[in-house]
Amino acid sequence: MNNRETRQAGNQSDQPSQPNQPNKRPKDKRRFSFYWIYAILFAVLIGLQFYGRDTITPTEKIDQGKFIELLKNSEVERIDLVNKQDAEVYLNQKGLSKHFPDVKATEKGTTTTPSYTYKIGDHARFEEMVEEAQQGFEKPVYISNVSRNNWAAGLLEWIIPFGLLIVFWIILMRGMGRGMGGAGSIFNIGKSRAMLYDKNTNVNVTFKDVAGLEEAKVEIMEVVDFLKNPEKYTKLGGKIPKGVLLVGPPGTGKTLLAKSVAGEANVPFFSLSGSDFVEMFVGVGASRVRDLFGNAKSKSPCIIFIDEIDAIGRARGRGAITGGNDERESTLNQLLTEMDGFGTNSGVIVLAATNRADILDKALLRAGRFDRQIYVELPDIVGRKEIFEVHMRNLKLGNDVNLEFLAKQTPGFSGADIANVCNEAALMAARKGKEIIEKQDFLDAVDRIIGGLEKKNKIITAEEKKVIAFHEAGHATTSWLLQYAHPLVKVTIVPRGNSLGAAWYLPEERQITTKEQMYHEMIATLGGRAAEQVVFGQISTGALSDLEKVTKQAFAMVSYYGLDEEIGNLSYYDSTGQQDYSLTKPYSDKTAETIDKRVSVIVEKAYQEAIAILTEHRDGLTQLANKLIEEEVIFGEDLEHIFGKRPWGNSEDEKLKNAASKNAESQPDIEHANA
Ligand code: ADP
Ligand code: ZN
């Protein structure tokens, strides 16, 4: 119902992209020497052109007539028949002085290059012709056969396939490099892909940028102190912690907190995600861990931050049947080894973040590893106000923007959501061509973030709208009339995203839930479908998410919380998470049958109760639904107007106050996905 996870996706981009510092190479130098080689080759070629210039004649092509004439005039010194195709004619002294007066002959009496070439037709004919032309000469010129390899062509024949292979190889390596997220070539695959922030990459995140989270800040302040004045602690024989685990839902500012530690302590900060270790090649993860710690030690004192450590830190030995986890396990083992390995006071502190501390391997949480845990919770109303404050610093605000009001409107929002609201509000105001951001822009942004994009053009027939209105009114009515159900904050039937309507409830702050409370919640959840039944005499698919929720709740009551008399005080819940219940159930088939039966009985009973309430208060229900059809949005006050004050006296405002003072607040339930 609450797609918080997916909303996070766009929120992690506050880290400046930055090349891997440790992998930088002095490339320029190498290229420089290559250019020298080219230059020398070029110079040699030019030099050759000039060397022995005066014994070279330009080579001209001639025809048969000219060739025979040269022979008859005894101007030829030598004829080379190359590959039985071309006759190369070298002139003698006489010929040279006649045709090339500028060119001197060498001591062999001729030039280094032929003066003329003549393309012969038939080889035998050519020999005859040469003999004929020199009939009666006392020193005739003979043909010397020369076979000459065309070395250039030969070389090309070799070079081209080789070249292609090399090009192919380079492309392959590049592709791999890119696939790895740009860590360069295959030779860098075992290198850690941590991003390094230090003095040169000024990310000046300090505690000032982290709103709320007071307790977390106090605890983490100590870590800063450890790094700044280690002597203070070591003097007394204390040990500096090696690892601190930040636990909390996504978007609550864990990364931000870690960065601010680095900023406050003014030490280098290696940041990476648990999934960065994982690669399809065996052994890469472990090698990256080694590399990371190697780099860190050389920069100590410093902080390593591993986001989403559950990617590697998941409990070992699970899913053994599926196999293929060896790589992750060896990565984890390497991490454990490294954490054990570095001296306690070597000045490297590992911070890690996760939203699932429960699935982490127990070995990670043992003393000397992540023995310190800091909980980072969703912000309460005060925290939200402060986060708004932080993110509004750079916004141009209208006078009607009230922080307290906005904080009230955003129960259950994480810091990242609020950052998102502020940004979205700015965009909306800009789209409307405004100079300042007004309250309405913020409200629109909140709505948009809660329910996805508001879709005015989603076509809903009048009949459908009526059904949706009664359905939502059914939830509102039942929850209002039941003592232990959560009081309603707001209901809308404006379709947004893929949901047709939504109801916001303000959950009571409670650590334990009684059977009564659970039961009442289930009745309220079924109130939607019950209203359809009572008013129209037929039910629809619109209750899918209600039914899902209720079924899960009833199942939990029966099989986890021991709240059902027939099953008794048994719980089949496994908090260690070591067993894989998808394959084996911890109870017999007979018990399974009983559980199924009891779940169905409980849900049915709740449904009948909802029907009873709505039949009794059908007038109020109809009033409420009509108001919804008219106004599309109704609030708690409207219900109070119709049904009177709740006798149990937990009005909305009181709740808010309570929640604020308790410094904790659960998130609102948002009903309804389109089935
Ligand atoms: P997490 O690591 O817990 O998933 P992040 O630290 O990446 O969350 O938070 C994402 C963004 O949300 C931050 O960059 C910041 O803009 C905003 N944010 C979250 N919590 C806070 C907070 N307490 N104060 C100010 N901004 C916050
Ligand atoms: Zn519903």
What confidence score (pLDDT) does residue 655 get? Answer: 46
CA–CA separation, 478 and 531 (whole Å): 9
Ligand whose nearest atom lies closest to the CA of 253: 1
Report yes or no: 628 and 473 within 8 Å, Cβ to Cβ.
yes
Question: Distance of CA 443 to CAs 407, 413, 435, 439, 667, Å?
Answer: 11, 14, 17, 6, 18
DSSP sequence for 43-71: HHHHHHHHTTGGG----EE--HHHHHHHH
Identify the band that residue 5 occupies on the pLDDT scale cut at 50, 70 and 90: very low
Report yes or no: 613 and 481 within 8 Å, Cβ to Cβ.
yes
Give residue 543 CA to ligand 2 midpoint distance, Å: 5
Ligand whose nearest atom lies closest to the CA of 15: 1
C-beta 259 within 6 A of ligand 1: no
DSSP class of residue 11 equals: G
Give residue 418 CA to ligand 1 midpoint distance, Å: 9
Residue nearest to atom 1 of ligand 1 (CA): 251
Pick from 58-62, 148-152, 434-438, 608-612 the range whose average pLDDT is largest: 608-612
Residue nearest to atom 27 of ligand 1 (CA): 415
C-beta 416 within 6 A of ligand 1: yes
Give residue 460 CA to ligand 2 midpoint distance, Å: 17
pTM of the model as a whole: 0.49
**In this structure, what token pair is assigned to residue 430?**
């800009």
Taking the CB of residue 366, how many other CB atoms lie within 10 A of it? 14
DSSP sequence for 136-181: T-SSPPPEEEE----HHHHHHHHHHHHHHHHHHHHHHHHHHHHHTT
Q: Model confidence over 611-659: pLDDT tens digits?
A: 999 999 999 999 999 988 887 778 888 888 888 887 775 544 454 444 4
Report yes or no: 79 and 144 within 8 Å, Cβ to Cβ.
yes
Strands of the sheet with 348-354, listed across from one edge: 195-197, 269-273, 302-307, 348-354, 243-247, 372-375
| pLDDT (average), residues 460-469 | 79
Averaged pLDDT of the chain: 76
CA–CA separation, 539 and 555 (whole Å): 23
Identify which of 256, 275, 382 to mutate to test ligand 1's pocket (most ligand atoms within 8 A of the CB).
256
Tell me the three-class secondary structure of 186-198, residue by residue: HHHCCCCCCEEEC
**Percent of the chain scoring above 90 in pLDDT:** 10
Ligand whose nearest atom lies closest to the CA of 524: 2
DSSP class of residue 303 equals: E
Ligand 1 atom having least distance to the Cα of 257: 6
Long-range Cβ pairs for the range 547-550 (8 Å, 24+): 549/1, 549/525, 550/522, 550/525, 550/526, 550/603, 550/606
C-beta 353 within 6 A of ligand 1: yes
Identify the band that residue 583 occupies on the pLDDT scale cut at 50, 70 and 90: low
**In this structure, what token pair is assigned to residue 597?**
């039966």
- Beta-sheet strands, E only, within 309-371: 348-354
The more confidently predicted of residues 510 and 664 is 510
Nearest Cα neighbor of 466 from 554, 390, 412, 531 is 531
C-beta 252 within 6 A of ligand 1: yes
Instruction: Name residues whose C-beta falls within 8 Å of residue 214's C-beta, 6 or more positions apart in sequence.
Output: none
Does pLDDT of 357 surpass 60? yes
C-beta 12 within 6 A of ligand 1: yes
C-beta 352 within 6 A of ligand 1: no
List beta partners, residue 60. 116
Does pLDDT of 163 surpass 50? yes
- Beta-sheet strands, E only, within 294-343: 302-307
CA–CA separation, 232 and 230 (whole Å): 5
Nearest Cα neighbor of 284 from 314, 325, 323, 328 is 328
Report yes or no: 87 and 67 within 8 Å, Cβ to Cβ.
yes
DSSP sequence for 237-297: T----SEEEEE--TTSSHHHHHHHHHHHHT--EEEEEGGGG--SSTTHHHHHHHHHHHHHH
The more confidently predicted of residues 577 and 420 is 420
Does pLDDT of 481 surpass 80? yes
Residue nearest to atom 23 of ligand 1 (CA): 211
Instruction: Name residues whose C-beta falls within 8 Å of residue 622's C-beta, 6 or more positions apart in sequence.
Output: 535
Q: Model confidence over 76-129: pLDDT tens digits?
A: 888 888 888 888 888 888 888 888 877 777 766 777 778 888 888 787 888 888
Amino acid at the residue 556: A
Residue nearest to atom 17 of ligand 1 (CA): 416
DSSP class of residue 325 equals: -
Report yes or no: 568 and 594 within 8 Å, Cβ to Cβ.
no
CA–CA separation, 599 and 544 (whole Å): 17
Amino acid at the residue 657: K
**In this structure, what token pair is assigned to residue 62?**
């001639």
DSSP class of residue 506 equals: -
CA–CA separation, 506 and 484 (whole Å): 12
Ligand 1 atom having least distance to the Cα of 386: 24
Ligand 1 atom having least distance to the Cα of 14: 14
What confidence score (pLDDT) does residue 612 get? Answer: 94
424 is catalytic: no
DSSP class of residue 541 equals: G
Instruction: Name residues whose C-beta falls within 8 Å of residue 271's C-beta, 6 or more positions apart in sequence.
Output: 15, 194, 195, 196, 197, 255, 258, 259, 305, 307
C-beta 70 within 6 A of ligand 1: no
C-beta 485 within 6 A of ligand 1: no
Nearest Cα neighbor of 186 from 198, 196, 174, 203 is 174
Identify the band that residue 9 occupies on the pLDDT scale cut at 50, 70 and 90: very low
Ligand whose nearest atom lies closest to the CA of 472: 2
Q: Which of 77, 264, 279, 472 is catalytic?
A: 472
Give residue 302 CA to ligand 2 midpoint distance, Å: 52
Identify which of 6, 204, 252, 257 to mutate to test ligand 1's pocket (most ligand atoms within 8 A of the CB).
252
Identify the band that residue 313 occupies on the pLDDT scale cut at 50, 70 and 90: confident
Does pLDDT of 470 surpass 80? yes
Per DSSP, the three-state class of 80 is strand
Residue nearest to atom 7 of ligand 1 (CA): 255
Does pLDDT of 223 surpass 90? no
Amino acid at the residue 34: F
Give residue 516 CA to ligand 2 midpoint distance, Å: 20
Question: Distance of CA 500 to CAs 264, 495, 543, 554, 675, Å?
Answer: 47, 4, 11, 25, 9
DSSP class of residue 365 equals: G
CA–CA separation, 129 and 81 (whole Å): 14
C-beta 249 within 6 A of ligand 1: no
Ion ligand 2: protein residues whose beta carbon lies under 5 Å:
528, 546, 671
Ligand whose nearest atom lies closest to the CA of 258: 1
